[in-house]
Amino acid sequence: MDVDDVLLDAEERMEKAVQVFADAARGIRTGSASAGLVESIRVDYYGSLTPLKQLAQIAVPDPQLIVVKPYDPASLENVEKAIQASDIGINPQSDGRVIRLSIPSLSQERREQLAGRVKGMAEEARIAVRNIRRDANRHLDKERKASSIGEDDCRRAKDDVQELTDQYEGQIDETLQKKTDEIVNI
């Protein structure tokens, strides 16, 4: 594996780590309604766990309400059970065709808990990015010991890996800041 392949692999893996964090952060409650809060909830649909966004239309008609309308009316009960079992802390209200989720305001204590949770998730994402950096550097060292690349090339490649690490950690910090502001300043 040459230097470019190592860098490309590290970049792809770091990008995935950041995306996983961003997706998880979208699912954290703020004080207002957001489709991201429920779209990744897994619903038991004919024996397989399927994301809610693939089974239903999710709408946010006002800042305090999420409306979920399953494409298959027979799945309404399963969708309702999945929402109740999720950790979003909202009880669904069903009228037989659609499910309504009223988003209550958050107390200051709950806002701080959620902000702390997002901060912990961001740290996990940073750790994942750093682990990817470590793996890439080990691979580069192995290539250098095998005399596939020179010492200068190895050093430059490690600098490139560090730049990637800094770039993706910056994206994590940016996402963390935005989400924390959404939670705390509503």
Alpha-carbon distances of 147 from 45, 139, 154, 159, rounded to whole Å: 54, 12, 10, 19
3-state class percentages of the chain: helix first, strand second, coil last, to nearest 5 = 60, 15, 25
What is the average pLDDT score of the chain? 89
User: How many Cα atoms within 13 Å fall on the side-chain side of residue 179?
Assistant: 29
- Please write the tens of the pLDDT for every residue from 127-159: 999 999 999 999 999 988 988 888 898 899 999
Q: Do domains 3-26+107-184 and 35-102 have the same CATH topology?
A: no
Where does the pLDDT of residue 17 fall: very low under 50, low under 70, confident under 90, or very high at 90 and above? Answer: very high
CATH number of 35-102: 3.30.1360.40
Instruction: Tell me the domain boundaries of the chain.
Output: 3-26+107-184, 35-102
Alpha-carbon distances of 169 from 8, 65, 140, 174, rounded to whole Å: 17, 33, 21, 9
| CA of residue 87 relative to chain centroid, distance | 15
Is 1.10.260.40 the CATH number for 3-26+107-184? no
CB burial string 131-145: b at 16+ within 10 A, e below: ebbeebbebbeebbe
Stretch (H or E) spanning 26? helix 3-26
- Please write the tens of the pLDDT for every residue from 41-99: 899 888 889 898 898 999 988 888 899 999 988 888 888 988 888 877 788 888 888 99
| pTM confidence score | 0.74
